A and B are shown apart, each in its own frame.
Chain A
Amino acid sequence: MRRALLVLTFSVLSSAAAFSQSEGGSFTGSLESSSIWDDEADSPYKGFHSNNYLKIAYSRGRFSAGLQGEWYPSPLPGYDEALKGWSLPVKYVAWQQKRWSLTGGDFYEQFGSGILLRSWEDRALGLANSLGGVRFKGDFDGIAVTLVAGAPRSARSYAPSLVSGADLTLDPFRLLGRDNPLGLTFGAGITDRYEWVPEDDMSLLLGTDAPKSVLLHSLRAGIAPGAFQLSFEYVGKGKDFTPVRHRGSGDTYVLEAGKAFSAEASWTGSNLSLTASWRYLDNMTFRSCRTLGALVPSNTLNYLPALCQQQTYMLASLNPYETFAEGESGFRGDAYYRFKRGSLLGGKYGMTLHVGGSWINALGKVLPRRESDQLAYRDLNIDLERKWNKKLKTILFVSIQECSPTHGNRKGTEAQNVFVVENLYKFSSSTSLRTELQYLYSEEREKDWMAGLVELGIAPHWSFQLSDMYNHGSTKDHYWNVSASWSRETLKCILGYGRSREGMVCSGGVCRWQPEYKGLFIRAQYAF
């Protein structure tokens, strides 16, 4: 049956492609493949693992259609094993008019900042929670409306739930037929998740009073006069089962309502930019299928990103902070300053300075509860970027991080300080050498780390990289990688060999456990 479906699909697509050539349609797509051969004798992941994605889209005039095929002969370590095999998880047809569009099939959507609803795809995380159903979007002179109804994707199929929602954005000036000099907008939305799980199963897993339907609502507003911007969002969540973590034992569930507030302010000048964010989360976990739990990254319907900076250097991202959706409140601020070219500190080529930090408190949701909020995470990040001459550029980076391993349930915290020096030297307009030297100082966990990276770039096709991360504080382990990358227009291939450390891989508020593996890895992507 599945083979017949594949033959039919590709026959239709190939015919459509040929038809498009003569009738003015447009046929595009992409192919991506990531594979590893784990060759460690005692590894539970020993052998071949591969994730493959083929996306094809056709459009002609107002009509468009597409599909995404996925093939996991054996998913990469850390990905959901339920993905194993062939599937066509995304297929859609859409019609677009000037003021509205209608989509039938699988689609991605976001309401507001995503706290109310977000369906998206992040292949690095193995996250894809597209909604399979119907979507209407319209923009009618100051009133933008989105209506959705569909079943969320779960691995190769759909979760046993129906998600429906509506989102409205109002531009009061446009409604009156005028320009909006203040950038004033108002928004509101609702999302409902109805779970199909049989009543007996639901009662067994979550208790007899588990509500099948959970409704979320939101209000938001934004204003942006001149260089200043301010936005605010409130999301309320109806009673739902929320996990309660117990110190030293497993989770239990309680039936509670939830709420979230977020506010953001920013100001941009000619050389200076400032931004500040505040967010409060209380019981905001919102899953496609509650009985599936948090083990599968895709089992989420909203987006609760960590408020702190997303780190990019190896050692700075060693122990990422994961949002505690059950209850946290935090603040983040960033400032960017660009020293002008020709100024005393800017020199001939200018210099940029970034200072940013976050402070997140837990709301005492881990049992036994504490009387007051406790620090869950805080960090301070400083980076300075300076070009010395036409050939040499240097980045200095410092990150001071402190995290509570008990989500604020105990006073003890773990701290780590990361120092990085990055240099880029251009031998010619096409040949360059990039180096990174990193050091992590900590008195906790595995104590001190050091890391280094050397990358030779030969534009426009070749890049070679060698890196090593070494724990000299306690484990004495090396995590080294050597790789070569080749690209030509939209084709890019990477071949490498190395050892990957186990740990959390996070993107936004969603994290995936990445087990350790060692071996050959190949990655290729092509767009056509």
Chain B
Amino acid sequence: MKQRILLTLIALVALAFTARAQHLPVTELEDGKGKAVSSATMVDHKTPFAITFWASWCKFCRKELDALAELSPDWESPLRIYAICEDDARSLARAKALAGGSDWPATLLYDPNGEFKRALNVSDIPHVFVFDKDGVQVWSHVGYIPGDEETLVKELQKAR
């Protein structure tokens, strides 16, 4: 047992030291009408962008998006934020209605079987990422505590 744990730790340390900044993985998402959208379209080679994972049943995800909506009138120029919905068939319609009726300052995309979430190694939501203009990950944060939205905006502005 001890050998297994030691082996795992050694491998993890090796991996952690050799891991590179993650490029945006390319998988298929859906827009609000169910049309396929490649995640590659997020990279425009001009401006950085943020990705935040949310779901209708995730209270803290919604609090984070609401908080961003409250901050957005103060932004000098619009920030590119993608809100990726992790609701599946049970609550997808509800999530679309919820998002449609909100004023979240984000482009809404849907990941009904979690393929994009798995590709970005997301275990828990909310989980936010900031990518530079070329799609290289520069910052990420898991969980939400009120006030985290300001850190996200700062990191996004810093990536410009």
Query: What is the chain A residue whose CB lies nearest that of B102?
Result: A338
* Chain B residues near A309 (CB-CB < 8 A): 91, 94
Query: Of the 9-residue stretches A190-198, A242-250, A270-278, A289-297, which lies at the interface with chain B?
Result: A270-278
A20 CA / B23 CA spacing, docked (Å):
13
Contact among A10, A269, A525 with B123 in the assembled complex (CB-CB below 8 Å):
A525
Known A306-B90, A490-B141; contact A336-B97, beta-carbon cutoff 8 A: yes
In the complex the two chains form, is B141's CB within 8 Å of A460's CB? Answer: yes
Mark out the residues of chain B between 70 and 129 whose CB falls within 8 Å of any chain A CB in the assembled complex: 70, 88-91, 93-94, 96-98, 100-103, 112-115, 118-124
B157 within 8 A of A: no
In the complex the two chains form, is A268's CB within 8 Å of B101's CB? Answer: yes
Query: What is the chain A residue whose CB lies nearest that of B114?
Result: A120
A312 within 8 A of B: yes
Name, among A110, A139, A306, A461, the residue most crowded by chain B CB atoms within 10 Å (CB to CB).
A110
In the complex the two chains form, is A28's CB within 8 Å of B19's CB? Answer: yes
Q: Would you give the shortest CB distance from B96 to chain A, in whole angstroms?
A: 6
B151 within 8 A of A: yes
In the complex the two chains form, is A528's CB within 8 Å of B19's CB? Answer: yes
Q: Would you give the shortest CB distance from A304 to chain B, in whole angstroms?
A: 9
The digit string for A32-43, where 1 denotes a CB below 8 A from any CB of B, is: 100000000000
The digit string for B16-52, where 1 denotes a CB below 8 A from any CB of A, is: 1011101101100000111110000000000000000
In the complex the two chains form, is B146's CB within 8 Å of A508's CB? Answer: no
In the complex the two chains form, is A487's CB within 8 Å of B118's CB? Answer: no
Q: Would you give the shortest CB distance from B60 to chain A, in whole angstroms?
A: 10
**Number of chain B residues whose Cβ lies closer than 8 Å to a Cβ of chain A:** 64
Q: Which residues of A contact B (CB under 8 A)?
A: 3, 6-7, 10, 13-14, 17-18, 20-21, 25-32, 53-57, 59, 69, 71, 73, 86, 96, 108-110, 113-115, 118, 120-121, 123, 139, 144, 180, 183, 185, 222, 224, 229, 231, 264, 266, 268-269, 271-275, 277, 303, 305-307, 309-310, 312, 334-338, 349-350, 352, 354, 356, 387, 424, 426, 428-432, 434, 457-463, 485, 487, 489-492, 508-509, 525, 527-528
Q: Would you give the shortest CB distance from A204 to chain B, in whole angstroms?
A: 36
In the complex the two chains form, is B88's CB within 8 Å of A508's CB? Answer: yes
Q: Would you give the shortest CB distance from A467 to chain B, in whole angstroms?
A: 14
A144 CA / B63 CA spacing, docked (Å):
36
* Chain A residues near B11 (CB-CB < 8 A): 10, 13-14
Contact among A7, A20, A73 with B20 in the assembled complex (CB-CB below 8 Å):
A20
In the complex the two chains form, is B97's CB within 8 Å of A57's CB? Answer: no
| 23 residue pairs A–B, Cβ–Cβ below 8 Å | A10-B7, A17-B18, A17-B19, A25-B20, A30-B123, A54-B12, A56-B15, A108-B113, A108-B115, A120-B113, A268-B32, A272-B101, A275-B93, A275-B97, A306-B90, A309-B94, A334-B94, A387-B70, A426-B146, A429-B150, A492-B124, A525-B123, A528-B16
Q: Would you give the shortest CB distance from A194 to chain B, in whole angstroms?
A: 23
In the complex the two chains form, is A266's CB within 8 Å of B96's CB? Answer: yes
In the complex the two chains form, is B145's CB within 8 Å of A275's CB? Answer: no
Query: What is the chain B residue whose CB lies nearest that of A509?
Result: B90
Q: Which residues of B contact A (CB under 8 A)?
A: 1, 3-4, 7-8, 10-12, 14-16, 18-20, 22-23, 25-26, 32-36, 56-59, 63, 70, 88-91, 93-94, 96-98, 100-103, 112-115, 118-124, 139-143, 145-148, 150-151
A273 CA / B139 CA spacing, docked (Å):
34
Known A139-B36, A272-B101, A334-B97; contact A27-B147, beta-carbon cutoff 8 A: no
In the complex the two chains form, is B14's CB within 8 Å of A310's CB? Answer: no
What 6 A-B pairs come out closest when comparing CB atoms? A459-B147, A305-B90, A268-B100, A17-B18, A273-B97, A10-B11
Q: Would you give the shortest CB distance from B10 to chain A, in whole angstroms?
A: 8
* Chain B residues near A354 (CB-CB < 8 A): 98
Q: Would you give the shortest CB distance from B84 to chain A, in whole angstroms?
A: 15
Contact among B63, B101, B147 with A429 in the assembled complex (CB-CB below 8 Å):
B147
Instruction: Known A-B contacts: A310-B56, A336-B98, A460-B141. Give 12 more (CB < 8 A).
Output: A26-B22, A29-B15, A55-B121, A57-B121, A108-B118, A110-B113, A264-B93, A266-B97, A273-B101, A432-B146, A508-B89, A527-B121
* Chain B residues near A462 (CB-CB < 8 A): 145
Q: Would you give the shortest CB distance from A64 to chain B, in whole angstroms?
A: 9
Query: What is the chain A residue whose CB lies nearest that of B150?
Result: A429
Query: What is the chain B residue whose CB lies nearest that of A459?
Result: B147
In the complex the two chains form, is A14's CB within 8 Å of B7's CB? Answer: no
Contact among A20, A69, A275 with B96 in the assembled complex (CB-CB below 8 Å):
A275
* Chain A residues near B100 (CB-CB < 8 A): 266, 268, 273, 336
A27 CA / B21 CA spacing, docked (Å):
8
A510 CA / B22 CA spacing, docked (Å):
33
Known A10-B7, A30-B123; contact A303-B142, beta-carbon cutoff 8 A: no
Q: Would you give the shortest CB distance from A244 to chain B, in whole angstroms?
A: 26
* Chain A residues near B147 (CB-CB < 8 A): 426, 428-432, 457, 459-460
Name, among A3, A21, A269, A310, the residue most crowded by chain B CB atoms within 10 Å (CB to CB).
A310
In the complex the two chains form, is A457's CB within 8 Å of B145's CB? Answer: yes
* Chain A residues near B113 (CB-CB < 8 A): 108-110, 114, 118, 120
* Chain A residues near B59 (CB-CB < 8 A): 312
Q: Would you give the shortest CB distance from A242 to chain B, in whole angstroms?
A: 21
Q: Would you give the shortest CB distance from B25 to chain A, in whole angstroms?
A: 7
A508 CA / B20 CA spacing, docked (Å):
36
Known A268-B96, A336-B98; contact A144-B103, beta-carbon cutoff 8 A: no
Contact among B58, B123, B148 with A123 in the assembled complex (CB-CB below 8 Å):
B123
* Chain A residues near B143 (CB-CB < 8 A): 463, 485, 487, 492
* Chain B residues near A349 (CB-CB < 8 A): 70
A336 CA / B103 CA spacing, docked (Å):
12
A199 CA / B147 CA spacing, docked (Å):
62
* Chain A residues near B23 (CB-CB < 8 A): 26, 59
A106 CA / B14 CA spacing, docked (Å):
25
In the complex the two chains form, is B93's CB within 8 Å of A183's CB? Answer: no
* Chain B residues near A139 (CB-CB < 8 A): 36
Q: Would you give the shortest CB distance from B13 to chain A, in whole angstroms?
A: 9
A32 CA / B150 CA spacing, docked (Å):
27
A12 CA / B119 CA spacing, docked (Å):
21
A525 CA / B121 CA spacing, docked (Å):
11
In the complex the two chains form, is B118's CB within 8 Å of A28's CB? Answer: no
